[in-house]
Amino acid sequence: MAVIGYIRRHSAIAVILVGISLVAFLVGPNLIDWAKNVLGYSSGPGSKREVGIINGQSISLIEFENSTLRNVELTKLNQQKPDLTAEEIFNIKDQTWTQRLTEIIMQEEYDKLGLTISPDEMIDLLRGNNPHRLIRQYFVNENGLYDPNLVVQYMQNIDRLAPGERAQWESFKEFIYNDRLNSKYRTLISKGFYFPKAFAEIEYKNNSDIIGFRYVGLKYADITDSLVAESTDDQYREFYEEIKHQANEVKSRDIEFVIFNILPSEEDLLSIKEEATEIFDEWITTSNPTEYVNNIPGNYYDSSWYARGELSVYIDSLMFTEEIGTYTDGPYKDGPAWYMAMLVDRQVRPDSASAEHVLIAYEGAFRVDPNNTRTKENATLLADSIYRVLRRDVSKLPEIATAMSDDASVVNNNGNIGWFKDGEMVYAFNKAAINGKKGDVVMVETPFGYHIIHITGLTEAVERVRVAQIEVPIEYSSETFDRYYAMASRFAGENNTLEKFNQAVIDEGLEKRESKYIQEMQMGLPSLENTRQVIRWVFWDDKEVGDVSPLFDIGGKFIVVAYTGSRETGTIPYETMKDRLEVNMVNDRKAEYLTEKISELGTDDISVIAQTFNTKVDTINSISFSSRNIPGYGTEHDVLGKLFACNEGENSGVIEGNGALFIAQLDKIYIAPELDNYTSYINQKSVNFESFLNNNLHYKALEHNAEVEDFRRYFY
């Protein structure tokens, strides 16, 4: 009865899921359009079924989704994962967009220049005398050296690989193809680079000509703000016009929001505790405790073996000291759930094993190659024959595996699968390896076929236990959910303007949070899950600053959002920029104030000026034009540039710097002799340019000038 009660308590979720499934079935391929119409999102570029337009080339939704699906499957294959998280899939969609953007922009460049890769060149990149660097990296023999025979062998076995692995190889070839094209493009650019000798001479003199000087630096920070006049709007605007070419920003939004966390009520907590107790009482009387675990929703019996310290501190000691069959003293609370446990078995066994094997598959086996028509009877005879051969001479296993194994990974490992944890392999394989001895050759059958296994290593055996565990999450009830939903809905409905929103936060004593500079294709809000819907809402076409969102359900929480600020891609407007210029403008007024005070002294003698302003005269004995900093003052390009324009023995007069006002006395100038040859400077510039190309700065320039319309927010 406890199990039935547990299922009944979650029946509301089941009904919702069934309902969604029915809607998806009925609506079919028009689900997106249906959802957009229902939600009021039927307008905008998204209705054209385009995710974007790049330099006039449209990317359809179908094309983009197919590319994304391909990348998802390749990622799962590369990472050996059955599934990916929502965040991982979102990131893959973002990578797919970047990939398509790069392809279109660069292909236009390749077409203009007539750059291609011929079939013969591609073959040479894969298996020629000078193959691509990745081919050299992956196809190596047991000595770690590149072996072209391994490439040929792999390519001859392509048809025997599983479809996913063949797709992996095609993606690998595609990367090599594009990388080679990009390499040709970079080479063309690099060969067009020329650094004249005259420029090399300037570079040399900038690094080698030296001056020495004494100076006084009067820092703006030491002047009280109240001593200077406020800057006028005309002065602000004049300064803005000087620097606005550097004042660029990207499209972003600011929001404020309130979160309603759904917490279990006291009634919920009591009900869940009673339910956990009922499950425990029923469990300890059942005849099959491990099977009972599988009947509790959200639980399954995990037959893994645990060493000391790997279990919860609540049960670790108990499981290693009591008799097999011992249960915990009822349910125990640990964080967000109630738990109960039973000791199933205890053994002394290794933690890991290493092995090499030959797999003989047959028609109908799990994940068998579709072209494999071998019968199970023939597979049995062949596997038994190989087993007998390897029992006599196990050194032949790599050779036999390479020639006969149906494990697709054999092309990379010659049958050697290396080390694996206890429980990582399919059951029969794992049992044979862990329970055997180093050097044993055994044959077992699994859903994949027959494995002839050579155990090559075992870790030291330690005491380990198997434990059956049941978790009963501490969750809120549907009644509690409804209560919070009503409360949050009321807040969203009654406070649909920014003014009302802010006042309600104060009146109701709620905590208001904020998030600034949100990007359009950001996955979600920091530290919050399932908030992509919030990002989409604030970037929707009809949203204006001051709008308040409807209620968002983000899984265990409700959130109501107020749209408080926006920025568009391009030059930052003067009104936005003005506040950021305040420090610069105050410093300008302080420079004017200090200049006037020095003028009143009637002298440019740095000793007198230092004494008047209660500071000291500093000395720099040697500094080059290419230097950027004045010690203690930071970056001062203009100051150093003006000092290099002075004559030896000359007083610089007042020079306005970034962080201080300077007056200097130039004591010496050292002019470096001309060189007979400036090749080293020319070569260094070529090396620097190559580095820029290798960091894809050429592509960044092309992307900056590309015409890109991004409609992805309409779809995800």
Does residue 550 fall inside a structural domain? yes
Distance of alpha carbon 377 from alpha carbon 289, whole angstroms: 38
What digits encode the pLDDT tens for the residues 182-229? 999 999 999 999 999 999 999 999 999 999 999 999 999 999 999 999
| Identity at 405, one-letter amino acid code | S
Stated as kind and residue range, the H or E segment containing 608 is helix 606-612
Closest CA to 95 of 72, 79, 63, 73: 72
Question: Considering 517, 540, 568, which residue would you say is the last residue of a domain?
Answer: 568
Query: Are residues 395 and 442 both part of a single domain?
Result: yes
Q: What is the DSSP letter of 146?
A: B
C-alpha distances in Å from residue 119, one per residue of 124, 154, 167:
9, 19, 19
| Contact of 714 with 46, CB cutoff 8 Å | yes
C-alpha distances in Å from residue 261, one per residue of 255, 333, 501, 529, 537:
19, 21, 18, 13, 21
Tell me what the mean pLDDT of segment 482-491 comes to.
96
Question: Considering 398, 432, 459, which residue would you say is the last residue of a domain?
Answer: 459
Does residue 639 fall inside a structural domain? yes
SS3 content of the chain, % helix, strand, coil (to 5): 50, 20, 30
Distance of alpha carbon 496 from alpha carbon 488, whole angstroms: 13
Query: Are residues 604 and 547 both part of a single domain?
Result: no
Task: Judge whether residue 493 has pLDDT over 70.
Answer: yes
Query: Are residues 314 and 405 both part of a single domain?
Result: no
Does residue 280 fall inside a structural domain? yes
Distance of alpha carbon 25 from alpha carbon 18, whole angstroms: 11
Query: Are residues 290 and 238 both part of a single domain?
Result: no
Q: How many domains does the chain have?
A: 5
Q: Binning pLDDT at 50, 70 and 90, where does residue 11 land?
A: very low
pLDDT of residue 48: 58
Burial class (CB in 10 A: 0-12, 13-18, 19+), 450: buried
| Contact of 470 with 464, CB cutoff 8 Å | no
All residues at 6 or more sequence positions from 101 whose CB lies less than 8 Å from its CB, including other chains: 54, 703, 706, 708
Q: Binning pLDDT at 50, 70 and 90, where does residue 47 land?
A: low
Does residue 404 fall inside a structural domain? yes
Query: Are residues 640 and 664 both part of a single domain?
Result: yes
Q: Binning pLDDT at 50, 70 and 90, where does residue 17 land?
A: very low
pLDDT of residue 161: 76
Q: ∠ at Cα 501 (496, 506), nearest 5°?
A: 155
| Contact of 75 with 84, CB cutoff 8 Å | yes
What digits encode the pLDDT tens for the residues 631-652? 999 999 999 999 999 999 999 9
| Mean confidence (pLDDT) of the chain | 89
Query: Are residues 505 and 548 both part of a single domain?
Result: yes
CATH number, domain at 402?
3.10.50.40
In angstroms, how far is the first alpha carbon of the chain from the final one?
43
Question: Considering 542, 568, 594, which residue would you say is the last residue of a domain?
Answer: 568
pLDDT of residue 665: 97
Distance of alpha carbon 647 from alpha carbon 669, whole angstroms: 8
Tell me what the mean pLDDT of segment 362-375 comes to.
89
Sheet of strand 449-458: strand arrangement: 416-421, 352-360, 449-458, 441-446
Of 316-325, 366-375, 645-654, give the lowest mean pLDDT range. Answer: 366-375
* Residue 21 bridge partners (DSSP): none
Does residue 215 fall inside a structural domain? yes
Tell me what the mean pLDDT of segment 282-296 comes to.
95
Distance of alpha carbon 237 from alpha carbon 575, whole angstroms: 10
Query: Are residues 419 and 343 both part of a single domain?
Result: no
Query: Are residues 221 and 289 both part of a single domain?
Result: no
Of 120-124, 276-280, 503-507, give the lowest mean pLDDT range. Answer: 120-124
Does residue 620 fall inside a structural domain? yes
Does residue 613 fall inside a structural domain? yes
Query: Are residues 327 and 368 both part of a single domain?
Result: no
| Contact of 566 with 254, CB cutoff 8 Å | yes
| Contact of 55 with 707, CB cutoff 8 Å | yes
Tell me what the mean pLDDT of segment 105-129 comes to.
93
Burial class (CB in 10 A: 0-12, 13-18, 19+), 566: middle
> 397 phi and psi, to 5 degrees?
-60, -50
Query: Are residues 453 and 359 both part of a single domain?
Result: yes
Sheet of strand 462-473: strand arrangement: 332-334, 337-349, 462-473
pLDDT of residue 434: 92
Does residue 603 fall inside a structural domain? yes
* Residue 703 bridge partners (DSSP): none
What digits encode the pLDDT tens for the residues 413-461? 889 999 999 888 999 999 999 999 999 999 999 999 999 999 999 999 9
Structural domain span for residue 409: 352-459
CATH number, domain at 534?
3.10.50
pTM of the model: 0.71
What digits encode the pLDDT tens for the residues 453-484? 999 999 999 999 999 999 999 999 999 999 99
Query: Are residues 370 and 340 both part of a single domain?
Result: no
Query: Are residues 399 and 423 both part of a single domain?
Result: yes
